[in-house]
């Protein structure tokens, strides 16, 4: 663990990171179980529902791309605090902005807040926890899927007493609690604001010039696209299969609980796998099997499908972040690199639930979407097997070499 965290309590900081992370998906995850009520009350179609998921995820990507500017303007601590505050306000205002247009506006607000937190948190974790970053990111990812699980599992029940707008707005309360705890726990943690001047003769790396960056971006996009797809469309899909709203919400809750437990396992045991390729390939195969079962026997084997998808995505989501961080040693560069990968990945992922909504409007069925995701998961194995520990070192050395070479050419 980095000795720069000595002025802050590591345990309290971990709890604060976990509490913040819980609030990064409910604004999206609570929509799925309430789709039928939202459609009935607002008159929007499935494509608009897809936009409610697409907009926050797309903005997550834009925010990640501009992480350097965010860090310079606000610092990591301040940016995370402001992002969480925007999430809280966006959720709260859904109580009054309960039209289709209002939902789109608050989805954009939530997306901006989530983008700020997600862009800055990996670099903050790397800076403060050093060699333990993998486990911290695993815990952070566990909080993300746990928040999604709680939101999905409680949405239908809360809506019976709070109605759907009140249910969405209620998520402002845990966000406020997280902000207060974060402000206290992180006040003495190490947090960079202005980036240090590059060493003499060097210039900052240009990640977009590297094929490995684009490879990791595509990999993260497919894994995150799978995560967002099931969040948005599992309940509506099962309602179409004849299940009631409570059962459809329960299935999503089962999936996300398994995701959370699996992500927690990643946090606990990933340090035993310095070569991440084995867990990555396993996760992709299990995810593909889950989508395959969802396509072939969605009702008869519904709990098997949820279990497979929960395990596969529960490994894939945190590990795709960890693998990106593994590629770079320096905390600031690691934060910038991870944000570049996540930025493009989130933009790619944002179109998955939107296209699924368009398919549902056109075909009144999502089965073909599950089949495409199964094939995409299997294709990602060809990328995963290339992410060896040796390739991390070669990539990091290449970044340093290219940065120095361009700096020398610029100076000459």
- Mean pLDDT for 69-95 is 90
DSSP-assigned letters across all residues of 214-254: HHHHHHHHHHHHHHHHHHHHHHHHHHHTT--HHHHHHHHHH
Read off the pLDDT band of 362 (50, 70, 90): confident
Res 5: pLDDT: 45
Q: Under a CB-based contact definition with an 8 Å cutoff, are residues 128 and 2 in contact?
A: yes
pLDDT tens digits for range 302-334: 999 999 999 999 898 888 888 887 877 776 677
- Mean pLDDT for 121-126 is 81
pLDDT tens digits for range 158-170: 888 888 889 999 9
Q: What are the structure tokens assigned to 321, written together?
A: 């972040």
Res 3: pLDDT: 44
Res 400: pLDDT: 63
Instruction: Domain 13-191+201-411: give its CATH superfamily.
Output: MFS general substrate transporter like domains (1.20.1250.20)
Q: What are the structure tokens assigned to 304, written together?
A: 């098997």
Q: What are the structure tokens assigned to 95, written together?
A: 């109580």
Residue with the bigger pLDDT between 137 and 194: it is 137
pTM, entire model? 0.74
Res 6: pLDDT: 46
What mean pLDDT value characterizes the chain? 82
- Mean pLDDT for 192-212 is 59
Percent of the chain at pLDDT exceeding 90:
23
Res 30: pLDDT: 84
Q: Under a CB-based contact definition with an 8 Å cutoff, are residues 77 and 179 in contact?
A: no
Interatomic CA distance for residues 391 and 77, integer angstroms:
32
Q: Where are the domains of the chain?
A: 13-191+201-411
Read off the pLDDT band of 289 (50, 70, 90): very high
Burial pattern 56-70, b for ≥16 Cβ within 10 A else e, equals bbbbbbbbbbebbeb
């Amino acid at each position: 663990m980095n000795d720069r965290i000595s002025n802050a309590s590591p345990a309290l900081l971990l709890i604060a990171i976990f509490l913040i992370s819980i609030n990064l998906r409910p604004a999206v995850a609570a929509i799925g179980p309430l789709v039928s009520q939202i459609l009935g009350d607002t008159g929007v179609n499935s494509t608009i529902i897809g936009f409610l998921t697409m907009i926050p995820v797309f903005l997550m990507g834009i925010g990640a791309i501009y992480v350097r500017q965010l860090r310079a303007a606000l610092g990591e601590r301040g940016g995370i605090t402001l992002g969480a505050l925007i999430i809280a306000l966006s959720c709260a205002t859904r109580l009054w902005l309960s039209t289709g247009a209002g939902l789109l506006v608050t989805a954009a607000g939530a997306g901006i807040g989530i983008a700020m937190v997600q862009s800055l948190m990996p670099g903050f974790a790397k800076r403060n926890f050093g060699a333990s970053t993998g486990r911290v990111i695993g815990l952070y990812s566990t909080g993300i899927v746990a928040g999604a699980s709680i939101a999905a599992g409680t949405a239908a029940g809360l809506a019976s007493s709070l109605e759907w707008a009140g249910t969405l707005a209620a998520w402002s309360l845990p966000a406020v609690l997280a902000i207060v705890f974060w402000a206290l726990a992180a006040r003495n943690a190490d947090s960079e604001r202005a980036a240090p001047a590059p060493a003499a003769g060097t210039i900052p790396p240009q990640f977009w010039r590297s094929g490995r960056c684009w490879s990791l971006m595509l990999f993260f996009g497919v894994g995150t696209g799978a995560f967002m797809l099931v969040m948005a469309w599992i309940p509506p899909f099962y309602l179409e299969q004849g299940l009631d709203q409570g059962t459809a919400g329960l299935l999503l809750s089962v999936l996300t609980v398994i995701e959370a437990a699996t992500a927690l396992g990643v946090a606990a045991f990933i340090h035993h796998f310095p070569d991440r390729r084995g867990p990555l390939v396993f996760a992709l195969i299990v995810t593909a099997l889950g989508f395959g079962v969802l396509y072939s026997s969605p009702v008869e084997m519904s709990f098997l499908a949820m279990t497979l998808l929960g395990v596969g995505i529960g490994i894939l989501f945190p590990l795709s972040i960890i693998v990106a961080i593994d590629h770079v040693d320096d905390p600031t560069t690691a934060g910038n690199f991870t944000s570049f990968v996540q930025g493009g990945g989130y933009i790619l992922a944002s179109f998955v639930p939107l296209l699924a909504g368009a398919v549902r409007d056109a075909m009144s069925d999502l089965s073909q979407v599950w089949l495409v995701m199964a094939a995409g998961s299997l294709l990602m194995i060809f990328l995963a097997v290339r992410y060896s520990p040796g390739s991390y070192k070669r990539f990091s050395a290449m970044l340093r070499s290219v940065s120095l070479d361009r700096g020398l050419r610029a100076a000459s």
